[in-house]
Structure 1
Amino acid sequence: MATRLPPVHALSAFEAAARLGSFALAAEELCITPSALSHRIRLLEEFVGERLFLRDGRAVSLSEFGRRYLDVVRAALRTLTEFPMPHRSAPAQPRIKVTVPPTFARYLLVPRLGDFTRQYPDIVLELFLSVPLYDLALSESDVEVRFGAGNYTDTVTEKLFEEPTFAVASPAYLEKIGGLEQPSDLARATLLRSALEPWQPWFEVAGLDWPEPSNALRLDDLGLLLEAIRHGYGVGLTRKHFVQESLERGEVVHLFKDVELKTPPHAYYVVYEPQARVRPEVGAFIDWLRKSFGRL
C-alpha cells in the first residue's frame, strides 16, 4: 500500500507562515496570493487532522501541535534543500497562473496570445478554465479574467471591455418558424436561456414588457449558447467578438439590427490581489491584457 505524503507546497507555506508570523508576509515571500496560502494551510491541516495555527482576527500563532510539527517540517525541508545536486539546471522561468472563462479563452485570448509570447518569450503562461458567476475564488491563480457584474471584494478589479448584446438565430431556424420581422414576433420563437446573457434587459430595450423566460434549453456557457443557436435550437443573445465569424459565414443572422443592449449587465474584468502585481511577470501580463482588450 502506497504511503501518503503531505504536499510539499503546503509544507513550505506552513514553514513560511510560522517563521514570519503572518499569512500575508508568507504569501508575499512565496509569490502567491494570501488566499492561496490559506488554502495550502487548510490542505495541510486536513492532511494531519490537527489545527496548525490559532487564528484571532488577522493575527495567527502556532498551536501546540503546530509547534511540534514545525520542527519535523523544517528538518525535512532542510534535508531536501541541502541535498547536493551538481547537475541542477538554471533557475526556472517565471510562470503566471491565469484563470479564464472558456469562451473568452477560445474566442478572444488564445488568438491573441502570440503577441504576448513574442513580447515576453521568457514568461511561461499556465491557463486554467473557470465557470463564470460560479468560480469566484482566486484560489491559486495569479490573475483571473471574470465575466460578471464586477462586484468582487478584497481584490483589484479592472474592467477590460464590454460590448453590446443582440439577438441571433440560424437561417434554418428562421425558415422553420416563418421568419422574425420585429421583436414581438419572438412570442412564437424558442428563446435559449443563459444566466450570463439574461433576456429581460434586452426586452426592455426592445420595448417588450416580458418576464425572463423560464422554459427551453439553458446553457451557462457563452460558447455552448452560440453552438445551440448555430444548430437551430432557437433564438439567443450574443456579442460581436463571439459571433463575428459565424455571421460572416452565414451560419447565424443578426436579428432586429436597431435593437441592441448597449451596456449589458455583465462584462469582462481582470481580477487579482494587490501584491500579485509586484511580480514583474504578473504586472506585464496584466498590462498586456488591458492594452489588448481595452481597445476592442
Structure 2
Amino acid sequence: MSAPLRHVPPMHALAAFEAAARLGGFAQAAEELCVTPSAVSHRIRQLETQLGTVLFERASGGVRPTTAGRLYLDSVREAFDKLAQAGAVLRPERERLRVSLPPTFARQLLMARLPEYLRAHPEVELEAHLSIPLQDVTAEAADVEVRWGRGDYPERVVRKLFDDTMVPLAAPSWVAAHAPAGMAELAGLELLRSPLLPWRPCFLAAGLDWGEPERGAVFNDLGMLMEIAAAGLGAAVGTRRLSAAWVETGRLVPLFGVSAPAPFTYYAVTTPAQSKRAVVQEFIDWLAAAFP
C-alpha cells in the first residue's frame, strides 16, 4: 500500500514567507533572496491559496503575520531547523563565501595573502571569481565584491581597503632610449593609457596643466598595462601598491620623483543583507587589515 500523498507547499514559497515575516516586508525579503518584490508577493499569494488562509496583514509600512500566519511561521521555522540539522549530519559544517575580484588586485595583491585567511578559517569554502573593473561585471553572483573606483555604490555597504599613490613608470630600456629629464619631456613620446588610471594628476603634480593623452595604446587591465610598459613600449602611470612587483624586480622604474594621490582605489562592497552574515563581516575585516 502506497503512502498517502503529501501536499507540501513549494520550498521557494515557504522561504519567501519566512523571510518576509522575519524582515517585515516583501522588499527586504526580495533583497535577501535575490528576487524581485513582485516575485515574493506572487510566491506568498501562491502559499496563501494552497493553505486557504491569509498569512499577512499588508500595510504601507510593510507586512506583519496574521494570527494564522504566526502559527504557521512556527511550523515552517521548525521544519527549516530540522532540514538544517539533517544537512549538518551529512556534511562538514563549511560556509560558502563567494568573492568577486578584479584581475590585477587578485594576482598582485591578494593571492600572496589569501593562504593566511584560508588557514585561519577552515570552516569557509571560498569561491573566487574575476570581474571587470569599472564595469561591475562578474561571471558569478558574489557575497563580497572588490571594486576599483571612487566608492560611490548606492544601496551597498562599502568599505575602503586602502589609499594609494600614482607614479609615472617606464622600463629601464625605454628610459635609456629616450632619456627624458622631466615630465615636460614626455610630450611627443609614447604614453600608454588606461581608463582605470588617468595621467592628468601626475601632470598637475609636475606643474603641467595638460589634459589626458589622446594617443597611445589603451588597456582596461592594470596588469596588462604594467606588462606592456615593462616591455619598453612606452611610459605608463601605475599605483605604488599595484606596480610594486615590477618595480622591485627592476622591470619598471619610477620617473622624475613625481607622485599624486590616486583618484581610484579598491573597495569591499556587499549588500545590506549580506553584510549581516558573520562570514562576510569577518572576510571584509580581514581584507582591510591585510593592507595596512
TM-score bracket relative to the smaller structure: 0.7 to 0.9
> Normalised by the size of structure 2, how large is the TM-score?
0.74
2:130 aligned residue: 129
Please state whether the residue corresponding to 2:119 is helix, strand or coil. Answer: helix
C-alpha deviation, 1:16, in angstroms: 2.2
1:240 aligned residue: 240
Write the deviation string for residues 88-118 of structure 1: whole angstroms up to 9, x where unpaired: 7225511110111110000111100111112
Write the deviation string for residues 187-210 of structure 1: whole angstroms up to 9, x where unpaired: 031111111111112211111121
1:16 aligned residue: 15
5+ long unaligned stretches in structure 1: 1-10, 28-33, 42-52, 72-77
1:231 aligns with 2:231: yes
Among the aligned pairs, what percent are the same residue? 36
1:274 aligned residue: 272
Please state whether the residue corresponding to 1:192 is helix, strand or coil. Answer: coil
2:219 aligned residue: 219
| RMSD, aligned CA | 3.2
2: CA distance, partners of 1:109 / 1:36: 29
Please tell me whether the aligned partners of residues 101 and 146 of structure 2 are also in contact (alpha carbons under 8 angstroms): yes
> Structure 1 residues 272, 240: closer, same or farther in 2, change over 3 A?
same
1:74 aligned residue: none
Please tell me whether the aligned partners of residues 17 and 25 of structure 1 are also in contact (alpha carbons under 8 angstroms): no
> Structure 1 residues 37, 204: closer, same or farther in 2, change over 3 A?
same
2: CA distance, partners of 1:12 / 1:199: 54
User: RCO (CA 8 Å, sep 6+): is it higher in 1 or 2?
Assistant: 1
Write the deviation string for residues 256-293 of structure 1: whole angstroms up to 9, x where unpaired: 11x101x2210111111222132222121111112112
5+ long unaligned stretches in structure 2: 1-9, 51-78
> Structure 1 residues 247, 54: closer, same or farther in 2, change over 3 A?
closer
Please tell me whether the aligned partners of residues 100 and 138 of structure 2 are also in contact (alpha carbons under 8 angstroms): no
2: CA distance, partners of 1:222 / 1:62: 45
C-alpha deviation, 1:18, in angstroms: 5.3
Give the 4+ runs in structure 1 shifted more than 4 A. 11-15, 18-25, 136-139
The residue correspondences of 1:102-181 to structure 2 (distance < 5 A) are 102-135=103-136, 140-176=141-177, 178-181=178-181
Structure 1 or 2, whichever has the larger Rg, is 2
Count, aligned residues = 247
> Normalised by the size of structure 1, how large is the TM-score?
0.73
1:290 aligns with 2:288: yes
Please tell me whether the aligned partners of residues 35 and 138 of structure 1 are also in contact (alpha carbons under 8 angstroms): no
Please state whether the residue corresponding to 2:243 is helix, strand or coil. Answer: helix
1:30 aligned residue: none
Paired amino acid for 1:199: W
1:62 aligned residue: 42
Please state whether the residue corresponding to 1:237 is helix, strand or coil. Answer: strand
2: CA distance, partners of 1:96 / 1:63: 27
Paired amino acid for 1:243: S
> Structure 1 residues 221, 15: closer, same or farther in 2, change over 3 A?
farther
2:194 aligned residue: 194
1:50 aligned residue: none
Please tell me whether the aligned partners of residues 32 and 273 of structure 2 are also in contact (alpha carbons under 8 angstroms): no
1:260 aligned residue: 259
Please tell me whether the aligned partners of residues 142 and 282 of structure 1 are also in contact (alpha carbons under 8 angstroms): yes
2: CA distance, partners of 1:140 / 1:15: 23
Write the deviation string for residues 146-170 of structure 1: whole angstroms up to 9, x where unpaired: 1101111001111110111001111
Paired amino acid for 1:62: H
1: CA distance, partners of 2:189 / 2:267: 33
1: CA distance, partners of 2:209 / 2:116: 45
Please tell me whether the aligned partners of residues 169 and 235 of structure 1 are also in contact (alpha carbons under 8 angstroms): yes
Paired amino acid for 1:93: R
1:37 aligns with 2:34: yes
